[in-house]
Structure formats: C-alpha cells, structure tokens
C-alpha cells in the first residue's frame, strides 16, 4: 500500500466560494516544498461529465490530454501546478452510477441488493484512491463539489467519513471552506453560518481539521478564537481567505496564513523550504506592466466570466510574459453588424474569436474577422473562430458566396467546414467529439513555427467539424495558408493569413495548455503582435 495522504476540501454556507482555487493554492504550496501533489474534483451532478452542459449552466468545459471533458476547476489545477490532469481527476455522480450499474448488469453483485451504502460509496472511495494508489503522489487533494447539506452530496460526504476511518486520521485531513458574511447594518462579520455548516458536517460524522474563511474584511483575533472554539478546531487552523485582486495571489495569502504548515503538521509530514521564485516572478510581471493593450473577445457567452475561463487566464499568462496589462473587451457576437463594426473594432489592439457551437451569432463573428483581416488588426481564431475565418475568406476573397459550415447550414452549396468522416456515424452526444491531444506538424516560415519554435506540437481538441479538404486548392493561396496539419489524417489544424501582422486560426484549443510557468506560445505571440500594433500607431 502506498503512503499517500489524502486531503478533502468541502464547502459550506454558499456555492462559488472558490474551493478549486483554495485546493490549487494549497497544492502549489505543497508542490513548492517538493511534495508530489495532484488534485481531483468530485461533482455531485448526474451528468456523466460536463461535456453536455451549456456554458450558462456550468461555465467552460475543460479538456485534458486524454480527452476527458471536465470541470473548469481542473483548468485551475493545471494552471497553478503545471502538471497535467486526466480522466481520473474528475468524477461525477453520473459516472459513479454508470459504472456501478454496468457492474450490476455484468452480475458482479449477483444475489445482492445494490445500495448507496456500500456500493455507491465503495465506487466513490475507489475513485478517491485511484490516483494515490499509483504511488506517483505524496498527497492527493480531493475537492467535493457543491455545499455540505445538499442531498446530492451525501454519498460523497459519507465516503469521506469512511475514508478517514479506513486510512486513519494521520493520513487524512478535512478542510472546510466557508463564508464569513459582513452585515453592513450591524457593521460586523458574522460567524453563525460557519458554525452551522461545520455542525452539518459533524452530523455526517466528519469534524473539519481546518476552516478556511472567505471574507471581505480582516478577521480579528476575537473572531478567529470564537470560530476555533465553536467549530472544534485549533486557533491556527482558522485560516482567513480575504478577497484579493487576482486568484494568483491566493497561494501567497495562504502561505502567510500558514495553511500548508497546519496541513503538514496534521499529516505528520516534515515541512521543507518553499521555492516560489517562478510564481513570484510571474506575479511581479503581472502586477507591474510596462504597457497595456485592449483585446476584443467575440463570443456568445461573453457576459459570463466562466464561459471563457481558460482563454482569459491564458491572456493573463501571456500578458505577464509580455509585461503588458490586458484589458479584455467582451463583444457579443449577436450585437456586431456591418454598421457598428468600425466603431467597435477600431479601439482594439487585437481580436479573439472564441470557440462555440451552433448558428447563433456566427454572422457577427464573420463580420469581425473580415474587418480584422482587412484592417490588419491582430487576430486569433480558436476552434469555431478558425472555422469562421475560413468561411470569411471563402466568401469574401475566393468568391464562394455561399460558403458555410454544415453545422450551421447542413445543405449549403460550399461546405468549406464539414463534419469529419469519423463523426458521420456518431449518434450519441456525450464524449464523442474529436477530443484530447492530437499531434500537429508545422510548416516552415510561418507565424505558427515562429511562435512554437518547434516543428511538431501537440494540442487539445474538442469539436466535430473540420476544414473540408475538398476545398483546399480553391481556398488556400500564397496569402491564405495552412501552417499546421495533423500528420495521420491530413486534417487542417492551423491557418494563417500572410499579408497581415498576425492572423492565425487554430482548430484546437491552445487555452487548455497555458499555465503560469509555461504561458502558451500562440497567446504570447498574439499579445506581442497586439502590443506592436498599439505601439506603432
Ligand atoms: N462547433 C464547432 C465544431 O464542433 C466548433 C467547436 C468549438 O469551437 N469547440 O466543430
């Protein structure tokens, strides 16, 4: 048996307190002391994965190298730790039940009544231990989605209780994240909701070892002592998590509060010196920019921060790398038309057209791309954004006025973007797109190769449609070129427009691979080009 230690992060009082950021920050502090750490997220909803969820419901869907469509918190884990996650790092109630029911059908429980306890909890516990048992990690942090007391979280909380029993208290630890609201009428911070949520946890047989308190104001000594007393934890185990300007400040705030120290003490692991140099260098560049640029982000979910989470974070990484502050201007694709395009795009230094599905808003995207191409505004098209760039060129430059994607117009005359052959027989929606890491070979003397500095790369995908190679000769010319191709299938992965400072469209999702310590080359190059445009004006 491995010596892996298990940390569980639960949440109380309200959702959206940022359990993922706290888990990632703690992992960062442990990783900076040379502990091998991974984080996994358990989500209590019935969907087998979030791939079928609308971004309005659940924010962005993050994709791993092995093609799992996962919760966006996995993006934070990768961005903070620079360590890849996988299918095993995200578990949902749907996937747990699916596997238990499959076992039942195979006859694995013959003669037995299949029940939440022990069958569902056994399956949950197996998944909780899966990564730890490989022996690759000293510490596995498991974030339990939802809020303590929710009906749907109960099997997870019960599994945590059993895990503590199975593995012993010195090998397990529970961090409970709560909110300390400030009542302005009373001018006071209130601890009662936290007391109640800790009590709810106790009713399930779990006493939290550490309480992390989200707050807008400093917690006084009195409040910390009161929380310790009522919540049954040591005074130093009451950790303040005060609102900060950037999520990337949280690890350092947790360091100040001694979160990792208390964790290591409880797990009986020796603390080591922290190496946070790279992290601090990044923060320093991020907070002391020498320049600024305005980047337009065209999409149809722009009012929701979480829908394009990885793109926004990639811009932060690339901005810091270029010592440039990035102001993202959200542009709703349905509100862009040929009348307002000049007024909307002229103030911008660069334009991103976001990924997406379905017809809504695509004409606005095409108008924006045409303007960026003709007016030499740096342009970065991601997945659907790349497909729209092809359609724009086909319609406006090649003269295929009815060019479209068969996703938007199944019987269109010039299907320059079409369903992949391998997708034509697919009927089920869940987990059936072209997903995960695929290789791509880059052509010489292109923006792509300049950015990557390498001839062969691997990037993550999540789409069903592709450039239709039947149109290759008609569409590509000396100006509009293919700069990246998948070596096995010949599928077009990157397109560029040459007669332009920086116009690149990618069929994959580069945003899933940008991290604090390794900002994505294409985002870096795009920000650099946007900055150059601004400075040359
Ligand atoms: N809807 C397009 C496709 O499936 C693009 C998907 C995306 O942008 N992720 O090919």
Q: What is the pLDDT of residue 448?
A: 97
| DSSP secondary structure, 310-356, as one string | HHHHHHHHHHHHTTEEEEEEEEEGGG--TTTHHHHHTT-SEEEE---
Query: Residue 383 Cα, ligand 1 centroid: separation in angstroms?
Result: 6
DSSP code of residue 112: S
pLDDT tens digits along 466-513: 999 999 999 999 999 999 999 999 999 999 999 899 999 999 999 999
Ligand 1 centroid – CA 355 distance (Å): 6
Mutate to test the pocket of ligand 1, among 356, 418, 509 (most ligand atoms within 8 A of CB): 356
Handedness of CA 303, 304, 308, 314 (dihedral sign): positive
Cβ partners under 8 Å of residue 437, min gap 6: 65, 66, 67, 458, 459, 460, 461
Residue 202 has pLDDT above 90, yes or no: yes
CA–centroid distance, residue 99 to ligand 1 (Å):
29
Residue in 276, 275, 280, 379 with CA at minimum distance from that of residue 320: 280
- Evaluate if residue 2 carries a pLDDT over 70: no
Nearest CA to ligand 1 atom 3: 463
Q: Give me 537's structure tokens.
A: 């004006």
Local structure of 461: helix, strand or coil: strand
Residue 300: the pLDDT is 84
What is the pLDDT at residue 350? 98
**Of 353, 350, 337, 370, which Cα lies nearest the Cα of 302?**
353
Residue 1 has pLDDT above 60, yes or no: no
pLDDT band at 429, cuts 50/70/90? confident
pLDDT tier at 306, thresholds 50, 70, 90: confident
| pTM of the predicted model as reported, rounded to 2 decimal places | 0.95
pLDDT tens digits, one per residue of 28-76: 999 999 999 999 999 999 999 888 888 777 789 999 999 999 999 999 9
pLDDT of 141 reads: 97
Average pLDDT of the chain to the nearest whole number: 94
Query: In the predicted model, is pLDDT for residue 302 greater than 80?
Result: no
- pLDDT at residue 320 greater than cutoff 70: yes
What is the Å distance from ligand 1's center to 384 Cα?
Answer: 5
C-alpha to C-alpha distance for 479 and 477, rounded to whole angstroms: 5
User: Rounded to an integer, what distance in angstroms lies between the CA atom of residue 507 and that of residue 493?
Assistant: 5
> Which two three-digit tokens encode residue 534?
């601004």
Structure tokens at 406: 């068969």
Pocket of ligand 1 (CB under 6 A): 355-357, 383-384, 407, 462-465
Extended strands (E) in 480-530? 480-485, 492-497, 503-506
In 3D space, the residue among 10, 280, 33, 268 whose CA is nearest the CA of residue 145 turns out to be: 10
Say what the pLDDT of residue 200 is: 95
Smallest CA separation from ligand 1 atom 8, residue: 355
Which DSSP helix (H) or strand (E) runs through 407? none
Share of the chain above pLDDT 70, in %: 99
Report the alpha-carbon distance of residue 260 to residue 238 in Å, rounded: 12
pLDDT at 37: 96
Atom number, ligand 1, closest to the C-alpha of residue 354: 8
Ligand 1 atom showing the smallest separation from residue 383 Cα? 8
CA gap 272, 93 in Å, rounded: 37
Q: Which of 465, 468, 510, 512 to mutate to test the pocket of ligand 1 (most atoms within 8 A of CB)?
A: 465
* Ligand 1 centroid from CA 389, angstroms: 13
Q: How far is the CA of 382 from the centre of ligand 1 (A)?
A: 9
Q: Is the pLDDT at 285 greater than 80, yes or no?
A: yes
φ, ψ of residue 38 to 5 degrees: the values are -135, 160
pLDDT of residue 235: 95
Distance CA 246, CA 315 (A): 13
Q: Round to the nearest angstrom and report the end-to-end CA distance of the chain.
A: 64
| Pocket-testing residue among 53, 298, 436, 463, ligand 1, by greatest number of atoms within 8 A of Cβ | 463
Tens-digit pLDDT profile for residues 361-401: 899 999 999 999 999 999 999 999 999 999 999 999 999 99
Residue 196, pLDDT above cutoff 70: yes
Residue of 301, 358, 387 to mutate, ligand 1, most atoms within 8 A of C-beta:
387
Q: Which of 139, 62, 127, 65 is nearest to 93 (CA)?
A: 127
| Measured distance CA(67)–CA(75) in Å, rounded | 14
Q: Which residues are catalytic?
A: 383, 509, 511
Ligand 1 mean position, distance from CA 290 (Å):
36
CA distance 517 to 511: 14
DSSP-derived 3-state class of residue 16: coil
Cα-atom radius of gyration of the chain, to the nearest Å? 25
Q: Tens digits of per-residue pLDDT, 10-36?
A: 999 888 899 999 999 999 999 999 999
The dihedral sign for the CA sequence 458, 463, 469, 474? negative
CB atoms within 10 A of CB 13: 23
The residue among 423 and 357 whose pLDDT is bigger is 357
- What is the pLDDT at residue 70? 94
- Mean pLDDT of the region 172-180: 97
- C-alpha angle with apex 509: 506 to 515, nearest 5 degrees? 125
Are 255 and 279 in contact by the 8 Å Cβ rule? The answer is no
Which pLDDT band, with edges at 50, 70 and 90, does 433 fall under? confident
């Amino acid at each position: 048996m491995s010596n892996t230690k298990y940390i569980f992060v639960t949440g109380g009082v309200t959702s959206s307190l940022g359990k993922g950021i706290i888990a990632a920050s703690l992992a960062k502090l442990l990783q900076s002391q040379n502990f091998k750490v991974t984080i996994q997220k358990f989500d209590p909803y019935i969907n087998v994965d979030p791939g079928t969820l609308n971004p309005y419901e659940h924010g962005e869907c993050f994709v791993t190298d092995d093609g799992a469509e996962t919760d966006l918190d996995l993006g934070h884990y990768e961005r903070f730790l620079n360590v890849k996650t996988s299918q095993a790092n995200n578990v949902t109630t749907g996937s747990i039940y699916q596997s238990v029911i499959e076992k039942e059908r195979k006859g694995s429980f013959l003669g037995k009544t299949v029940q939440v306890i022990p069958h569902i909890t056994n399956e949950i516990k197996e998944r909780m231990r899966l990564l730890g048992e490989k022996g690759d990690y000293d510490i596995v942090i498991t974030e339990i989605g939802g809020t303590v007391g929710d009906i749907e979280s109960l099997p997870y909380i019960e599994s945590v209780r059993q895990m503590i029993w199975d593995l012993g208290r010195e090998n397990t630890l529970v961090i409970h994240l709560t909110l300390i609201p400030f009542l302005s009428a009373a001018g006071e911070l209130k601890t009662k909701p936290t007391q109640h949520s800790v009590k709810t946890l106790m009713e399930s047989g779990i006493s939290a070892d550490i309480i992390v308190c989200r707050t807008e104001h400093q917690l006084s000594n009195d409040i910390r002592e009161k929380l310790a007393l009522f919540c049954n934890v040591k005074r130093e185990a009451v950790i303040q998590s005060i609102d900060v300007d950037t999520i990337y400040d949280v690890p350092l705030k947790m360091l100040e509060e001694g979160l990792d120290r208390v964790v290591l003490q409880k797990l009986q692991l020796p603390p080591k010196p922290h190496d946070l140099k790279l992290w601090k260098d990044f923060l320093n560049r991020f907070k002391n920019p020498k320049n600024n640029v305005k980047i337009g982000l065209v999409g149809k979910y722009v009012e929701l921060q979480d829908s394009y989470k990885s793109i926004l974070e990639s811009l932060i990484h690339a901005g810091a790398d270029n010592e440039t502050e990035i102001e993202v201007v959200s542009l709703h694709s349905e509100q862009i038309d040929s009348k307002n395009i000049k007024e909307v795009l002229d103030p911008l230094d660069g334009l991103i057209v976001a990924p997406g599905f379905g017809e809504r808003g695509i004409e606005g995207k095409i108008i924006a791309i045409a303007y960026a191409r003709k007016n030499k505004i740096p342009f970065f098209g991601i997945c659907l954004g790349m497909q729209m760039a092809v359609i724009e060129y086909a319609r406006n430059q090649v003269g295929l006025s009815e060019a479209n994607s068969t996703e938007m117009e199944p019987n269109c005359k010039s299907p320059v973007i079409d369903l992949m052959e391998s997708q034509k027989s697919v009927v089920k929606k869940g987990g059936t797109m072209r997903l995960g890491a695929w290789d791509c070979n880059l052509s010489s003397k292109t923006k792509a190769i300049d950015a990557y500095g390498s001839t062969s790369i691997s990037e993550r995908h999540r789409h069903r449609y592709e450039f239709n190679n039947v149109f290759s000769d008609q569409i590509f010319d000396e100006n509009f070129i293919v700069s990246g191709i998948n070596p096995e299938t010949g599928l077009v992965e990157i397109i560029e427009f040459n007669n332009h400072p920086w116009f690149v469209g990618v069929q994959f999702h580069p945003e899933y691979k940008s991290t604090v310590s390794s900002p994505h080359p294409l985002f870096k190059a795009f920000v650099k080009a946007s900055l150059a445009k601004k400075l040359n004006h």
